[in-house]
Structure 1
Amino acid sequence: MSFAKRTGDPVDALLADYAAGSLQGPMSVLVEAHLELSPQNLSFVRDLDVLGGILLDDAPPMPLKDRDSRLAAILADDAPPPPVRRRPPEVADPVLPTAIRRFIGRPFSEVRWHSKLPGLKECRLDRDGTEVSLMWLRAGSAVPAHTHTGREAVLVLSGGFSDAYGRYDRGDLAVADEMTDHKPVADDDEDCICFIVQEGHLKLTGLLGRIFQRLIERR
């Protein structure tokens, strides 16, 4: 079962934002990586692009100030175009999609992990005030129950996990927000590796979670 099947609201909204060009930075990288792994949603985004083009064609023309003079200046410029810089061929990574590998600047085999909890390792990749990380959850282990102070997007890169809202495998995209309270659990037979982008912060829930959260906030 795949959350890439687009169960509606949050995932569709994220894909629509990407198609409209309104996603920036790490969240755009996450969606680009998801589309590498999900032919179905890649087709969906391309359909949105086509629809957007049709809507633009139907819109009334907008005059461009000094259009003729600007066009003449462009045509009068005889300078040769800059050379095209071609990327060297990339070696496929067994875990990381190309978009994520470019973002972190190294293959999966060179990721530096740090233990956070028993059964959970993390590599922080924060950019421009956005919380970004790779998470490695040991088979059968769980992330403590939590909610969020903003939107969180999780892309499964290897293995799978489940929570109260569904089950997610490689390539699946799950989106959570302030209304989501869940406890992700890795599959019993395989470790789960995810790429996570958070526009807010994780907030632990449940009795033990609230106690632990207070201890963290006092540090």
Structure 2
Amino acid sequence: MSRIEHHPKDDTLYSYAAGSLPAALALVVGCHLQFCPQCRSQVRSGESLGGTLMSALSPQALSERARSNVLQRLEMQEVHADTQVLTHTDEIEIVSSLAGGKNTGARGSMPVLLQKVLEEKDFDALPWKRTIAPGLKQIVVDCGEGRARLLRIAAGRKMPAHSHSGSELTLILSGGYSDALGQFNAGDVADLEGSTEHQPVADSDRDCICLAGMDAPLAFKGLVARLIQPLVGL
């Protein structure tokens, strides 16, 4: 299998290390880390730097408002205790355990983080939902913050042309696609901003399965695409 050519941007990895990415984007990065030792190393460096900076700070007393915010967050965690949403700590622990082992899982297989969320190990066993867009199926991944979708683009088919009203991270899990930015294969990540417009086309020999996380809806081009967007759910 070819090496990973496309990685998250440096600021994305450092935001992940700091725990400041929205959950949907963090899930994509965490899954990529399972397959990419280069990015795992960069995240560890970011965590080490953050720890050094934190240790150099002088202790400050918490205000009453800060105390209330902490208690409120704890109450929210109790309310959602039965959900399958992973915290950043969960992600780091899983990725670290994989990095310490001899086998981090072959590209083309479902990442362990995604298995934890979906409670399934086989892409074909998932309850894929058809969309109105031809050749496109999806599964909504509940992250609690941001939007995450597992997308399956039929071989040779293409997504509607679109740009982004926010940030989008897309990790190729199986197969591949090409667009104006190049060829993306299993393990690659497209780290896109609002100004980027593209139209991924799945490789002709197999379906392309990818995990997309975004902090705002996509902005489809063309009247028909915009009309069907609420029905597609992207």
TM-score by length of 1: 0.73
Secondary structure at 2:11 match in 1 = helix
> What are the ranges of 5 or more consecutive residues in structure 2 without an aligned counterpart?
63-93, 95-104
Are 2:22 and 2:215, in contact at CA under 8 Å, matched by a contact in 1? no
In structure 2, the residue matched to 1:190 is: 206
Distance 1:215 1:47 in 2: 43
Question: What letter corresponds to residue 120 of structure 2 in structure 1?
Answer: R
Distance 1:121 1:187 in 2: 16
In structure 1, the residue matched to 2:85 is: none
Distance 2:177 2:201 in 1: 5
Identity fraction in percent: 34
Structure 1 stretch displaced more, 179-188 or 17-26: 17-26
Secondary structure at 1:122 match in 2 = strand
In structure 2, the residue matched to 1:69 is: none
* Cα deviation code 1:111-133 (max 9, x no counterpart): 11122232221112244363221
> What are the ranges of 5 or more consecutive residues in structure 1 without an aligned counterpart?
66-86
Distance 1:189 1:62 in 2: 58
Greater Rg over alpha carbons, structure: 1
- Matching residue within 124, 143, 152 for 1:136: 152
In structure 2, the residue matched to 1:114 is: 129
Superposed displacement of residue 35, structure 1: 0.3
* Cα deviation code 1:44-92 (max 9, x no counterpart): 11122222233345x2543679xxxxxxxxxxxxxxxxxxxxx9xxxx7
Superposed displacement of residue 12, structure 1: 1.9
Distance 1:166 1:189 in 2: 17
Return closer, same or farther for 1:63/1:118 CA change in 2, 3 Å cut-off. closer
Are 1:155 and 1:196, in contact at CA under 8 Å, matched by a contact in 2? yes
Superposed displacement of residue 217, structure 1: 6.1
Question: What letter corresponds to residue 128 of structure 2 in structure 1?
Answer: W
Superposed displacement of residue 39, structure 1: 1.0
1:174 equivalent in alignment to 2:177: no
Return closer, same or farther for 1:191/1:217 CA change in 2, 3 Å cut-off. closer
In structure 1, the residue matched to 2:6 is: 3
Question: What letter corresponds to residue 210 of structure 1 in structure 2?
Answer: L
Superposed displacement of residue 99, structure 1: 0.5
In structure 1, the residue matched to 2:16 is: 18
TM-score by length of 2: 0.69
Distance 1:121 1:198 in 2: 17
Are 1:149 and 1:203, in contact at CA under 8 Å, matched by a contact in 2? yes
What's the RMSD between the two structures over aligned residues? 2.6
Are 1:29 and 1:103, in contact at CA under 8 Å, matched by a contact in 2? no
Distance 1:114 1:63 in 2: 50
Residues 32-181 of structure 1: pairs in structure 2 closer than 5 A: 32-57=30-55, 59-62=56-59, 95-108=109-122, 109-116=124-131, 117-128=133-144, 130-181=146-197
Distance 1:131 1:139 in 2: 24
The size of the alignment, in residue pairs, is 184
